[in-house]
Amino acid sequence: MDKPLIMHLVTALLALLIERAFGYPRALQRAVGHPVEWMGAMIAWADARFNRSTLPPAARVVLGALVMLALVVFWGGLAWLIGRWLPWWAQGVLASTLLAQRSLTEHVRAIIDALDARASGDLSPARRALSMIVGRDTARFDESEIAHATVESLAENASDGIIAPLFWLAVLGLPGIVVYKLVNTADSMIGHLDDRHAHFGKAAARLDDALNIIPARLTSLLYALAATLFKGVKAGRRTLATSWRDARKHVSPNAGWPESAMAGALDIRLGGPRSYAGRVVDFPWLGDGRKDLSRADIEAALVLHERMLWLVAAIMALMVLLALAADTPAIFH
């Protein structure tokens, strides 16, 4: 294995373990904000400055593409320069700020805790906790709807927030994870089909789709491997079969892969109708199992998710050891 690839893999493993253990310090968040917030501020400025409703659709598409190109060059170039200056371990520390495994687990755990602590059937705290990670109308959700949305968000964000940035860090180093997070943030902010962003945000949405093609399918395979190891061969086969059959039903070219894999692993159904800003969207069902979910299904999904992440760390560590064994000269500097 080439020296840069070994170093990228080592950096990615270090970032995964650091973020797993410490997350992003709240004191640092209060003091200087978060790197994704800095990216978001630039995207919001560009949206306000260049996305003019008076322009024709074609011009807004072109401007949106040029804005994305400029942002990718700026943030990718900055990451490349920083990577040239920082040692590998410092790059791992910096890259850890762009992973979301700890925060995702904490958000899901908060929903479980709110369901456990509910008084007289009051689901308001759980709905509020859920609204932190989904864009749906959660105000009237019952327990099953809360469970559906939580498990789906956990599966999708496992790909978008953990596996995808980790993948691009391992492949391209610090510029890879920085550019991925920039594009993913832009997609979440302007990659919508509403009147304002349908044209200006098209480049962001398409680029995000492209960068997630491999990670989304990789996440599906990782869930299948985790299901096989911890739930048995039958569960692993069901996970693979469900994701292969149902992933393409999803409106997103990528989100259906981790979601359908989770549905297969737990033998439940995900997807189905949902409401966004008062508008009901009739999504297809993924999986063949139960539709009526509960707090126990959230817990089961989180357990599988956590085991999958430990499996990822073990696989990466094994790859590093094998690469180092094959490359005897010292690579750390």
Q: What are phi and psi of 172, to 5 degrees?
A: -120, 5
Per-residue pLDDT at 330? 47
Per-residue pLDDT at 279? 66
Per-residue pLDDT at 327? 66
Per-residue pLDDT at 139? 85
**For tokens 């990466």, what's the residue?**
316
Joined tokens for residue 104: 């995702």
The reported pTM is: 0.93
Low-confidence ranges of the chain (pLDDT < 50): 330-333
The Cα angle at residue 43 between residues 38 and 48, in degrees rounded to 5 = 125
* Residue 313: C-alpha distances to residues 56, 201, 279 (Å): 48, 35, 40
State the Cα–Cα distance between residues 24 and 9, nearest whole angstrom.
21
